[in-house]
Structure 1
């Protein structure tokens, strides 16, 4: 007899990780990103959203090497999540500032 695996639904996968208990409060409007406003990474705070990213073993080793180098050479104890959030913030700020000439567009069009 074949067993059926129960998979989570899309609602389960894309739900907020924290419940905000504010009754009858209007939802805040999403702020529009401005070209002049620099994107600042969230740093060490509790994050309400989660995203899973798969990387190769070489990419993970490169991230770990950068993390350890930041600790040994600069005295910065950062976890992989913070390192990745900082890198994403840098790339997105460059994209906002430079658009078609950004590093992100250049690298993605090389594939």
Structure 2
């Protein structure tokens, strides 16, 4: 079975779309970066380095230093699919990020987005 094309798409090519979506709704690049760091464990310096290169989504998530355990609490629908029902691990990670950015754009508080206890 062929991989979905998002796997080979560079993270840096999609990142500006995340920023634009957030900024259209009055949120900030810093909040998008905070979400990405929370989900993946990348530092800001590491994230900025990735954005300078051509790291694809599959590699971005495979090399993430510390995937957030609380990400399993992310529930809901992205692109018509419930994220908690996605079986393929990399696609689930991508959709977790999509869902978090959606929540940011919808005005949800950062504490809730980051699943603070």
TM over 0.5: no
Q: TM-score, normalised by structure 1?
A: 0.32
Q: TM-score, normalised by structure 2?
A: 0.31
Q: Structure 1 or 2: larger helix share?
A: 2
Which structure is larger by alpha-carbon Rg, 1 or 2?
1
